[in-house]
């Protein structure tokens, strides 16, 4: 007989004379003549209660079972006389599938700190909080594909190993088939013996390849892992994370901002509808203001303000002297500035656009003033930057001058420049940090708690 998921058991419409439950024991209580097992199989937040009489056939098996063990129970689904639950299972037989030593099993029926649970990231999905987190993560992934598919986008798989640096910052992980001795001291032109015959890296973005497909298929998106060798040991940064990156032909900056706002609202609405129980857990135990933040984001038009006006606003606000970093024109906005704009001044998400060209990558379109580029950052409360994008520079001569201006080698981007030589067109796109979206949805304050196995400086466990 096939097992029935706990989620389906709890949603049953009528009693079932016989079924099989398989899962992990969250708690076990022994009373005179019978035992209570709370079993969860990961299909939902709630456990199913199983009551098993101490018959000679099951007593020896029950003695071996404790918190953390995996079990298989054959029983009958009946209405529960207890409060707060509609059904319970009257067990007829029980088999322990996997033993968990009660002396060494690290999770007991108490609240463990996030810091402790990061040290046992392989087991933390057994907790309510992290099982809920990763069900939400799964549903959010599905929602992203649904959003773009419904809008006629095509999903493109862009390379993970690359020879180009999209951001031009150089903070990339090297990929090589050579050992340390074979790599030491070699310059790029001396790498003929390496696998690709040149320097190769893990991608920091799928944007440049995605642009090529947008200029062929019209509107595309890529959704995959990206890597940054940036030693930022903060709650908002990881060396390996996931990015959602749409690129749209014949779209300008306004179209880009519209798409970003529409996507964020769609994802919130989808997850609230599909993961209500899991979101409720975070609203109750992690962030008491979570639902207010999410509903406020859903029900308001995002404020739009130029970078120049944002800096002037920040420099003139009452809190200006209290910022750790003084707002200065020509400098990136800091997280404290972004949070002030979203949480205190406007009280809702904000899109800042038209940044100084000097602080943005080469591919962003230069505005007519010659000083700014058509960049946009979508900022949300508590997180700060969630989405960053721009209208791309479609003019060949301007793009070539921008590459030279930033000190990059145009020869490495011959294929990218070809798209401007042969049928160039205005186009726009952005990147959304998938994990930051999860932080917004759950109230989590550390990116390490929204990734199954986080990769951060000096941390390569699991």
pLDDT in tens, 85-124: 899 999 999 999 999 999 999 987 778 999 999 999 999 9
Output the CA–CA distances (angstroms, integers) from residue 104 to 28, 31, 118, 124, 276, in the order listed: 17, 24, 17, 15, 34
Beta bridge partners, 216, equal: none
Place of tokens 């549903």: 139
Question: Is residue 136 within 8 Å of residue 278, measured between CB atoms?
Answer: yes
Place of tokens 């101490």: 54
Q: What pLDDT shows up at residue 255?
A: 98
Q: Is 457 left (phi over 0), alpha (psi -120 to 50) or beta?
A: beta
169 pLDDT above the threshold of 60: no
Q: What pLDDT shows up at residue 110?
A: 78
286 pLDDT above the threshold of 60: yes
Q: What pLDDT shows up at residue 337?
A: 97
Lowest mean pLDDT across 190-204, 351-365, 430-444: 190-204
CA distance 435 to 447: 7
**pLDDT band with cut points at 50, 70 and 90 for residue 170:** low
Q: Which two tokens stand for residue 247?
A: 């690129």
> What b/e sequence results for 68-81 when a residue is b if at least 16 CB atoms lie within 10 Å of its CB, and e otherwise?
bbbbebbbebeeee
Question: Is residue 219 within 8 Å of residue 154, measured between CB atoms?
Answer: yes
Mean local confidence (pLDDT), 247-266: 98
Output the CA–CA distances (angstroms, integers) from residue 427 to 283, 288, 374, 389, 411, in the order listed: 39, 41, 11, 11, 23
Question: Is residue 172 within 8 Å of residue 229, measured between CB atoms?
Answer: yes
DSSP code for 92: E
Mean local confidence (pLDDT), 61-66: 95
Which percentage of the chain shows pLDDT scores above 90? Answer: 87
**pLDDT band with cut points at 50, 70 and 90 for residue 387:** very high
Place of tokens 């890529």: 222
Mean local confidence (pLDDT), 342-348: 97
Beta bridge partners, 16, equal: 77
Concatenating the DSSP letter of every residue in 125-150 gives GGSHHHHHHHHHHHHHHHHHHHHHHH
181 pLDDT above the threshold of 80: no
pLDDT in tens, 207-236: 999 999 999 999 999 999 999 998 888 888
Question: Is residue 428 within 8 Å of residue 258, measured between CB atoms?
Answer: no
* Whole-prediction pTM: 0.95
Sheet with 200-202: strands ordered across: 161-162, 200-202, 174-175
**pLDDT band with cut points at 50, 70 and 90 for residue 263:** very high
CA distance 214 to 392: 12
Q: Is 218 left (phi over 0), alpha (psi -120 to 50) or beta?
A: left
Fold of 124-159+250-449: BirA Bifunctional Protein; domain 2 (3.30.930)
Mean local confidence (pLDDT), 58-62: 93
**pLDDT band with cut points at 50, 70 and 90 for residue 143:** very high
Q: What pLDDT shows up at residue 440?
A: 98
Q: What pLDDT shows up at residue 167?
A: 67
Place of tokens 């060209």: 357
Question: Which H or E run includes 309?
Answer: helix 307-316
Please provide the distance, in angstroms rounded to a whole number, between the alpha carbons at the two ends of the chain.
35
Q: What pLDDT shows up at residue 179?
A: 83
Q: Share the mean pLDDT of the chain.
A: 94
Q: What pLDDT shows up at residue 189?
A: 65
Q: Domains of the chain: which residue ranges?
A: 6-105, 124-159+250-449
Q: Which CATH architecture has domain 6-105?
A: Beta Barrel (2.40)
**pLDDT band with cut points at 50, 70 and 90 for residue 157:** very high
51 pLDDT above the threshold of 90: yes
CA distance 338 to 344: 10
Task: For residue 312, count other CB atoms closer than 10 A to its CB.
Answer: 14
CA distance 38 to 76: 15
CA distance 86 to 89: 11
Q: What pLDDT shows up at residue 178?
A: 84
Q: Which two tokens stand for residue 387?
A: 């989405």
Q: What pLDDT shows up at residue 429?
A: 98
Which percentage of the chain shows pLDDT scores above 70? Answer: 98
Q: In degrees rounded to 5, what are phi and psi of residue 63?
A: -60, -30
| Closest listed residue to residue 286, CA positions, set 449, 126, 436 | 449
**Is 124-159+250-449 the same fold as 6-105?**
no
């Amino acid at each position: 007989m096939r097992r029935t998921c706990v989620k389906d058991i709890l949603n049953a419409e009528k009693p079932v004379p016989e079924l099989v439950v398989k899962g992990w024991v969250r708690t076990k209580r022994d009373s005179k003549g019978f035992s209570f097992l709370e079993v969860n199989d990961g299909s939902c937040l709630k456990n199913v209660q199983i009551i098993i009489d101490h018959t000679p056939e099951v007593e020896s098996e029950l003695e071996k079972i404790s918190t953390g063990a995996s079990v298989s129970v054959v029983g009958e689904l009946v209405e529960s006389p207890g409060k707060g639950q509609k059904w319970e299972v009257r067990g007829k037989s029980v088999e322990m599938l996997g033993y968990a030593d009660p002396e060494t099993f690290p999770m007991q029926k108490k609240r463990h700190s996030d810091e402790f649970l990061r040290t046992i990231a392989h087991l933390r999905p057994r907790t309510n909080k992290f099982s809920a987190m990763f069900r939400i993560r799964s549903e959010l992934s599905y929602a992203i594909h649904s959003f773009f598919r419904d809008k006629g986008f095509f999903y493109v798989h862009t390379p993970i190993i690359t020879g180009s640096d999209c951001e031009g910052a150089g903070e990339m992980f090297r990929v090589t088939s050579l050992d340390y001795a074979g790599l030491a001291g070699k310059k790029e032109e001396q790498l003929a013996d390496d696998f690709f015959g040149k320097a190769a890296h893990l991608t920091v973005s799928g944007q440049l390849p995605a642009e090529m497909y947008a200029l062929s298929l019209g509107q595309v998106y890529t959704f995959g892992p990206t890597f940054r060798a940036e030693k930022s040991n903060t709650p908002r940064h990881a060396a390996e994370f996931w990015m959602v990156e749409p690129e749209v032909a014949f779209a300008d900056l306004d179209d880009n901002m519209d798409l970003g706002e529409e996507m964020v609202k769609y994802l919130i609405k989808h997850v609230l509808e599909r993961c209500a129980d899991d979101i409720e857990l975070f609203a109750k135990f992690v962030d008491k203001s979570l639902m207010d933040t999410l509903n406020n984001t859903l029900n308001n038009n995002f404020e739009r303000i130029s970078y120049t006006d944002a800096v002037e606003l920040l420099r003139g606000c009452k809190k200006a002297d209290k910022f750790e970093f003084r707002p200065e024109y020509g400098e990136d906005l800091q997280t404290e500035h972004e949070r002030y704009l979203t949480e205190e001044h406007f009280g809702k998400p904000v899109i800042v656009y038209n940044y100084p060209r000097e602080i943005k990558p080469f591919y962003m379109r230069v505005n007519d003033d010659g000083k700014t580029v058509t960049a946009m950052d979508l900022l949300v409360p508590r997180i700060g930057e969630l989405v960053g994008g721009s209208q791309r520079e479609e003019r060949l001569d301007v793009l070539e001058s921008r590459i030279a201006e930033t000190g990059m080698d145009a020869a490495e981007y011959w294929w990218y420049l070809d798209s401007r030589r042969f049928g160039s067109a205005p186009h726009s796109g952005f990147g959304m940090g998938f994990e930051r979206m999860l932080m917004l949805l759950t109230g989590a304050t550390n990116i390490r708690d929204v990734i199954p196995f986080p990769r951060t400086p000096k941390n390569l466990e699991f």
